[in-house]
Structure 1
Amino acid sequence: MPLIIVILGVALLLLLVTVVRLNTIFSLLITSVAVGFAMNMSAVDILKSVETGVSTTMGQLALLLAFGSLLGKLMAEGGAAEKITTVLTAVFGKKNLPWAMVLTGFLVGIPLFYNVGFIVLVPFVFMVCASNKMPLLYVAIPLLAALSVTHGYLPPHPGATAIALTYKADIGLTMAYGIVVAIPAIIIGGPLFGRMLKRIPTNPPTEFFPEHNQADRKELPGFAISIFTGLFPIILIAFGSFSHLIFPEGSSWLKALRFLGDPVVALMIASLMAMYTMGIRQGKSLREQSASVEEAIRGIMMILFIIAASGAFKQILVDSGVANYIADITADLSLSPLVLAWLIAGIIRLVIGSASVAGLTAAGIMLPIVQAGEVTPELMVLATGAGSLMFSHVNDPGFWMFKSYFGVSIKDTFRSWTVMETLVSVIGLIGVLILHWLGH
């Protein structure tokens, strides 16, 4: 019965958005309340779940989106994005730009959370496509596939690390196996699949796809200062992530680097730096740049509220106990432990929308099998992580972030984003099974 309610809830949401044409925010909130009541949740519990889902999502993304949008806008108006895309095109060639995005997404995706990588790097994709007149999703999907796979498979990302700790897997060996599995998943789900998306129309908000104005600046900035400004938040976050390898726990340097490496702090500092490198150095006063700040913040408000409302829907599904129901009906299936871990994580992801909840719930269910020594823990981490990426759709805030940033319809979001996530999940499982077969 809970699965039927979830399916009906998703159908109601799609009906409200695509047929009734109701605003997406209202559609998500109405569906959240309806599913909550259908799951026998009390009105008080529904309100608490909605508030928790909205506040958690907003708390994680509000400032990230604001500073990420501002940094992208300042770099576009200052000419940095134009300079970077010009150099990238010259180095890799227009034909190979999707592969350049794969490399960028993979290297940047290791130290960064998925959402942070998305917010920081997507403006570069916009500029690359604008300068070279290339289809947006053709270039974007390779980047997002790389970010998604590194987020789902590889420590030190929180989800993959938590699963590895649950299974007591070796982190280094998990990363080594993960890179082997990640490469074909990224190639197939990224550049190869991206070729099929060239004709999908996109309409990103102008705030994220600004046109540069040569008259507003002295000249294009140098490549070194342009790339340094764009990568500065990534550098800070990377230092924060790996500082424990250099400094002892409790040291002042470790605390300072972790503070500076917080994604919000890093993006704020990078935005302030961009006001100088891309503004004052380019002949724009702080007063003139204040308009850019206001436009950047104003442009993300609708996107932010849509993502927050989707967080409410996800939280209703989590709090209603659907994950426990799925665990009960799948735990006794007679399948390979690797396939079973992937399947349980995939079903929970499909129903609830949260990759982290899916992965950790599946890990808890499969832990006794791992403890019995029936399968390699490191491969179980990868199988579970791959399953947690499966079939992202309307109950996943990432689905709405993709839709809103790239300005695509719900149908085309399914055709692009959802299929890409499913591809990297399935290819990941196949890679894990091949490694398991080679090891026996």
Structure 2
Amino acid sequence: MTLLILVLGIALLLVLIIRFKMNTYLALIITAIVVALGLGMPAGQIATSIQNGIGAQLGELALVFGFGAMLGRLVADAGGAYRIAHTLIEKFGQRRLQWAVVVASFIIGIALFFEVGIVLLVPIVFAIAIEAGVPILYLGLPMGAALSVTHGFLPPHPAPTAIAQALGAPAGEVLLYGIVIAIPTVIIAGPLFTKIAQSYAPKAFTKSGDLSALGPQKTFKLDQTPSFGLSVLTSLFPVLLMALTTIYMMMRHGGTMPKQPSGLDNAVAFVGAPSIAMVISLLFALWSMGYQRHIPTKAIMTSLEEAVRSIAMLLLVIGGGGAFKQVLIDGGVGDSVKELFLGAHVSPLLLGWLIAVVLRLALGSATVAALTAAGLVTPLMQQAGVDPALMVLALGAGSLAASHVNDAGFWMFKEYFDLSVKETLMTWTVLETVISVVGLAGVLILSLIV
């Protein structure tokens, strides 16, 4: 009955979002309440469970996402992202345009949220494709692959950061493992997959695209943008801080903080904590992308305010996902899932990936699918002694699979590249599935090593 109620709850969530076009945050809270009642939770405890779920989910994330969005917007508004893309394309040359787009998108994708990255890069990709005389989708698919991989695998992006917090995985460890898996995944799902897609969906590569959906475009003069090195350093600053801290802890203490840490240990751990890393990185970005370039304080603050507005609903949705997850845990669904797979000779990482894939197919949102899956796999992970960082990446990979008509990213890609629904399914949906499968393979291989 517990699992039946879970299935019915997910079906309700799906109906509310797709059929009735309800706001995702509202749909998650309503579903959480209905599922809690169905699971027999005392009515007086449901509100507490939902509040605890939202609070636990957004505690540190509000700081990380808020400052992350501000940093990304500063880099974009200053022309730093424009400089990164054009410099790499110039250095790689005409024959290796795809690789230039992949590297540029990967760097920019770390600093910017998926949707912002697409809006920023699509006009650049269009201009380069037209100038080089290549199909826009020839560059668009590698761009989408790099942005999607960073979104699904690498903190400080919403899904991997939120799942890491939910599963108690060190964000720096998730980041290092994520980069190891992300690089081959981008190569396979980007340039290599594009060649295959051209062979079975040639008509999609004849489209000229449509920039009207992006609205007015901000233009930059290259000589008035920040330098390439400073733009890259600013974009990667939080990643560098978290990665260096993790490497230090692994080399000196085997990856865990000692019971009696030295002053240096405390200082390194402080700087590498995701929230502090984002504070330091934002302060650096304020200087590198703002004050150092003599940008007025008012203009800088406007960029920060716009950045916060752009992620307000995302934060609520993540909080709603946390509420739903907490209800599943408090209502005993996690224990039921554990009992169902008790004795099953299947890797918990594979099971976690499958659960995330099913939820992604049903719900559309990668972040919501990953967060919901996190609530279900926690007992499995603890029972089997699975590395939580690898489980984060397995769920992240599963949450990217088979983007289709209930996913906003699907429609963004369709509209910008002027594709039919069938062509979008044949290119974008398959691309996301390739990322998911290759990502899972990387996680399973890594689990044999670490």
Q: Same fold, TM exceeding 0.5?
A: yes
The 8 Å contact of residues 72 and 111 in structure 2, kept in 1 or not, is answered as no
Corresponding position of 2:132: none
The Cα shift of 1:390 comes to: 6.2
Gap regions ≥5 residues in structure 2:
127-135, 360-368, 415-420
The 8 Å contact of residues 35 and 327 in structure 2, kept in 1 or not, is answered as yes
The 8 Å contact of residues 358 and 388 in structure 1, kept in 2 or not, is answered as no
Corresponding position of 1:141: 145
Once residues 212 and 326 of structure 2 are traced to their aligned partners in structure 1, the CA distance between those partners, rounded to angstroms, is 28
1:42 equivalenced with 2:42 (yes/no): yes
Once residues 231 and 96 of structure 1 are traced to their aligned partners in structure 2, the CA distance between those partners, rounded to angstroms, is 23
Once residues 190 and 360 of structure 1 are traced to their aligned partners in structure 2, the CA distance between those partners, rounded to angstroms, is 32
Moved more, 246-255 or 258-267: 246-255
Moved more, 269-278 or 183-192: 183-192
Q: Which amino acid aligns with 1:269?
A: I
SS of the counterpart of 1:67? helix
Q: Which amino acid aligns with 1:43?
A: A
Distance 1:406 1:254, change over 3 A: farther
1:244 equivalenced with 2:249 (yes/no): yes
Distance 1:390 1:140, change over 3 A: closer
Corresponding position of 2:340: 329
TM (norm. structure 1) is: 0.68
Write the deviation string for residues 222-260 of structure 1: whole angstroms up to 9, x where unpaired: 212222222222222222222335667522222222222
The Cα shift of 1:87 comes to: 1.0
The Cα shift of 1:145 comes to: 2.9
Distance 1:118 1:27, change over 3 A: farther
Corresponding position of 1:129: 122
Once residues 87 and 311 of structure 2 are traced to their aligned partners in structure 1, the CA distance between those partners, rounded to angstroms, is 29
Equivalent residue in structure 1 for 2:226, among 221, 230, 235: 221
Once residues 410 and 67 of structure 2 are traced to their aligned partners in structure 1, the CA distance between those partners, rounded to angstroms, is 15
The 8 Å contact of residues 101 and 143 in structure 1, kept in 2 or not, is answered as no
Q: Which amino acid aligns with 2:4?
A: I
The 8 Å contact of residues 69 and 119 in structure 1, kept in 2 or not, is answered as yes
Corresponding position of 1:341: 348
Q: Which amino acid aligns with 1:90?
A: E
Distance 1:188 1:348, change over 3 A: same
Q: Which amino acid aligns with 2:379?
A: T
> 1:266-281, aligned counterparts within 5 Å?
266-281=277-292
Distance 1:433 1:243, change over 3 A: closer
RMSD: 5.0
Corresponding position of 1:18: 18
The Cα shift of 1:91 comes to: 2.8
Q: Which amino acid aligns with 1:233?
A: P
SS of the counterpart of 1:221? coil
Distance 1:210 1:63, change over 3 A: farther
> 1:246-395, aligned counterparts within 5 Å?
249=258, 250-333=261-344, 337=345, 339-346=346-353, 349=356, 350=358, 353-354=370-371, 356=374, 360-366=378-384, 388-389=395-396, 391-392=398-399
Once residues 204 and 11 of structure 1 are traced to their aligned partners in structure 2, the CA distance between those partners, rounded to angstroms, is 35
The 8 Å contact of residues 65 and 119 in structure 1, kept in 2 or not, is answered as no
Once residues 104 and 252 of structure 1 are traced to their aligned partners in structure 2, the CA distance between those partners, rounded to angstroms, is 38
SS of the counterpart of 1:331? coil
Once residues 77 and 40 of structure 2 are traced to their aligned partners in structure 1, the CA distance between those partners, rounded to angstroms, is 52
Q: Which amino acid aligns with 2:120?
A: M
Q: Which amino acid aligns with 1:330?
A: F
The 8 Å contact of residues 99 and 142 in structure 1, kept in 2 or not, is answered as no
Distance 1:259 1:130, change over 3 A: farther
The 8 Å contact of residues 164 and 392 in structure 2, kept in 1 or not, is answered as no
Distance 1:66 1:390, change over 3 A: closer
Distance 1:57 1:302, change over 3 A: same
Once residues 234 and 324 of structure 1 are traced to their aligned partners in structure 2, the CA distance between those partners, rounded to angstroms, is 35
The Cα shift of 1:265 comes to: 2.0
The Cα shift of 1:32 comes to: 1.0
The 8 Å contact of residues 303 and 404 in structure 1, kept in 2 or not, is answered as no
Once residues 432 and 213 of structure 1 are traced to their aligned partners in structure 2, the CA distance between those partners, rounded to angstroms, is 40
Write the deviation string for residues 10-68 of structure 1: whole angstroms up to 9, x where unpaired: 22112112222222221111111111111111223321221122112222321222111
Gap regions ≥5 residues in structure 1:
109-115, 165-170, 368-376
SS of the counterpart of 2:226? coil
1:76 equivalenced with 2:76 (yes/no): yes
> 1:399-414, aligned counterparts within 5 Å?
403=408
The 8 Å contact of residues 111 and 235 in structure 2, kept in 1 or not, is answered as no
Once residues 221 and 381 of structure 1 are traced to their aligned partners in structure 2, the CA distance between those partners, rounded to angstroms, is 35
SS of the counterpart of 2:224? coil
Q: Which amino acid aligns with 1:9?
A: G
Q: Percent identity?
A: 29
Once residues 76 and 191 of structure 2 are traced to their aligned partners in structure 1, the CA distance between those partners, rounded to angstroms, is 25
Distance 1:390 1:48, change over 3 A: farther
